[in-house]
Amino acid sequence: MNILPRIILKKGKEKPILRGHPWVFSGAVAGAEGDLVPGEIGEVYSGGGDFLGMGQFNPRSQIILRMLTRRKEVLDASFFRERLLQADALRKRELRGKTDGYRVINGEGDFLPGLIVDRYGKTLVLQCLTAGMERLKGLFVDLLVERFTPKSIFERSDVPTRREEGLPELRGLLYGEELPDRVEIEEYGCRFKVDVKEGQKTGFYLDQRENRFSLREISQGRKILDCFCYSGGFSVHAGMGGAGEITLIDSSGEALERVKDHFALNHLEGIRPHLIKGDGFEVMRNLEPGYDIVVLDPPPFAKKKSHLPGASRGYKDLNLQALRLLKKEGLLFTFSCSHHMNWDLFQKIVFAAAVDAGRRVQLLGRKSHPVDHPVNLSHPEGEYLRGLVLRVL
C-alpha cells in the first residue's frame, strides 16, 4: 500500500473516533505529514502513534477529515460498491412495494459521509456535499448505473454548505436522458410529480413519507389544516384517507399549483382543497378555530446554533396558534427539521405554547426519519427531523 498523508491528533482527542464518530475537527489536530489535498484519502493517528482509521481530507474545512473506515484497507471501487450494496439491501427489505421514491444513500447514516442519493422512479438524484465525495462523483455515477440501471442521474449539489468545503454549487445532468419537468413517483398508493431540477431539497420531502401515511390513517371525515404545505404531500394522504375538508397554507403560489395537480392526479375531485397563499404565521393568526387536525411542517428556523433563540420564538408562536385553532380532542402534528433543535428543547417549546394557549395537551407519540434515512448511532448530528403528535383536551 502506498504511503498516505496523515494527521496526528492531540493527546486525548482520539476518543470520539474510538467511539465511532465520523468527523475529525481541525482543532483536534496536533500536526500533519504529507500533502493534505482536499478530497484525497489519508490516515489519522493518535498522539501516541496508534492508527485510528482512514478517511477523506479537507484542510479548508473545519471538519478536516471524514472517516470511512477504522481499518487499513484499499479504498477502491470495490470498497464503495460494498457500502452501496449494504445500503440498498436495507431499502429493498423495508420498502419493497411501498414506494419508488426514497433515499438510496444517507451520508454518514450509511457510512458514506457527504453523499446523498435519492431515487424518484427511474431517476436518481445525487448530492456531493464534501470535497471527498466530489472527487469520487464519477465513480459513484458508475456504481449507481451498475446497480440501478436508471434512465437518468441528475446532480443537485446546489447547496450552500458546499461553500464551507471550498466547492461551487452545481446542478445538471450527469448521466442518461434529459429529464421532463416533473418525474412521477408512487408512495403508498399516492402519486406525486416531483420537480427534480428546481424543487426543494432534491425535489420532494422523502423524509416525511411515513408521517404522511400515519396522518392518512386517521383522516376519515376530519377537518384538516396543513401549514407550510409545499406541494401537498400530507394533504394528499389525508384526502386518500377520506378527509372531509382540507385547508392548505404556503407562501409559494407555484407550490399551491402543484397541490392542485396532485389532487387531480390522485382523483380527489370530491375534496376541494382550500388554498391560501401567504405567510403561515400571519395566516394562522386570522383563522377561526374548529380544526380536527393541524399539521405544522415549517422549513428549518435554526440553520446555525446562534439562530436557536429566534427559532425557539418562531416555533412557540406557530404551535400556540395551532393549539388555539384545534377543537377539543383535536390532534396536532408538529415538526422541526432544524439540526440544532434537540428533542428536549423542542418539547419544552411546545409545552410553553400549550401553557400560553391555556390548553391541556397529551403527548401521544414522537415522529422522526423513516428507515431510508438511517442515523449512525455514533453521529447524533445526523438526526434532524423531530415531530410530536399531541391531543388537545
Active site residue 337: yes
In a domain? residue 309: yes
Q: Is the torsion defined by CA of 264, 267, 269, 273 positive or negative?
A: negative
Residue of 81, 236, 57, 225 lying closest to 143 (CA atoms) = 81
CA atoms of 307 and 286, how far apart (whole Å): 27
- Residue-wise pLDDT for 1-60, tens only, equals 578 999 999 999 999 999 999 999 999 999 999 999 999 999 999 999 999 999 999 999
Q: How far apart are the first and last CA of the chain?
A: 66
| The predicted structure's pLDDT at residue 301 | 82
CA atoms of 64 and 52, how far apart (whole Å): 15
Any idea which of 20-29, 306-315, 350-359 has the lowest mean pLDDT? 306-315
Domain boundary at 151, 183, 215, which? 183
Q: For residues 85 and 30, state if they share a domain.
A: no
Domain boundary at 19, 46, 69, which? 69
How many domains does the structure of the chain reveal?
A: 3
Amino acid at 176: G
What is the value of pTM for the model shown? Answer: 0.94
Q: For residues 61 and 121, state if they share a domain.
A: no
- Residue-wise pLDDT for 111-130, tens only, equals 999 999 999 999 999 999 99
Are β-strands 63-69 and 101-106 bridged in parallel, bridged antiparallel, or unpaired?
A: unpaired
| The predicted structure's pLDDT at residue 215 | 97
Q: For residues 29 and 135, state if they share a domain.
A: no
CATH of the domain at 13: 2.30.130.10
| The predicted structure's pLDDT at residue 302 | 72
> Which residue range(s) make up the domain with 26?
6-69
- Residue-wise pLDDT for 370-385, tens only, equals 999 999 999 999 999 9
Q: For residues 268 and 387, state if they share a domain.
A: yes
Which grid coordinates are listed for 31? 500536526
CA atoms of 291 and 280, how far apart (whole Å): 16
Which grid coordinates are listed for 41? 484519502
| The predicted structure's pLDDT at residue 311 | 84
Percent of the residues in the chain that have a pLDDT greater than 70, as a whole number: 100
Quick check: helix, strand or coil at residue 197? coil
Are β-strands 291-296 and 326-336 bridged in parallel, bridged antiparallel, or unpaired?
A: parallel
Q: For residues 326 and 245, state if they share a domain.
A: yes
What separation in angstroms does the CA of 269 have from each of 185, 189, 236, 240, 261? 20, 16, 11, 11, 11
CA atoms of 90 and 84, how far apart (whole Å): 10
Question: 128, 190, 229, 337: which is the annotated catalytic residue?
Answer: 337
In a domain? residue 191: no
| The predicted structure's pLDDT at residue 1 | 53
The DSSP line for 17-64 is: HHTT--EEEGGGEEEEES---TT-EEEEE-TTS-EEEEEEE-TTSSEE
Q: For residues 64 and 81, state if they share a domain.
A: no
Q: For residues 12 and 147, state if they share a domain.
A: no
Q: For residues 85 and 160, state if they share a domain.
A: yes
In a domain? residue 188: no
In a domain? residue 10: yes
CATH of the domain at 134: 3.30.750.80
CATH of the domain at 372: 3.40.50.150
CA atoms of 252 and 267, how far apart (whole Å): 23
In a domain? residue 171: yes
Quick check: helix, strand or coil at residue 276? strand
Q: For residues 177 and 230, state if they share a domain.
A: no
How many Cβ atoms are within 10 Å of 87's Cβ, its own excluded? Answer: 23
CA atoms of 389 and 244, how far apart (whole Å): 20
Task: Work out the average pLDDT over 283-289.
Answer: 95
Residues whose CB is less than 8 angstroms from the CB of residue 341 and which lie 6 or more positions away in sequence, other chains included:
301, 302, 308, 311, 312, 315, 386
Q: pLDDT-based confidence at 63, cuts 50/70/90?
A: very high
Q: For residues 218 and 258, state if they share a domain.
A: yes
State the chain's mean pLDDT as an integer.
Answer: 95
Quick check: helix, strand or coil at residue 359? coil
Q: For residues 83 and 178, state if they share a domain.
A: yes
- Residue-wise pLDDT for 242-252, tens only, equals 999 999 999 99
- Residue-wise pLDDT for 203-215, tens only, equals 999 999 999 999 9
Q: For residues 282 and 382, state if they share a domain.
A: yes
| The predicted structure's pLDDT at residue 347 | 95
In a domain? residue 297: yes
| The predicted structure's pLDDT at residue 87 | 98
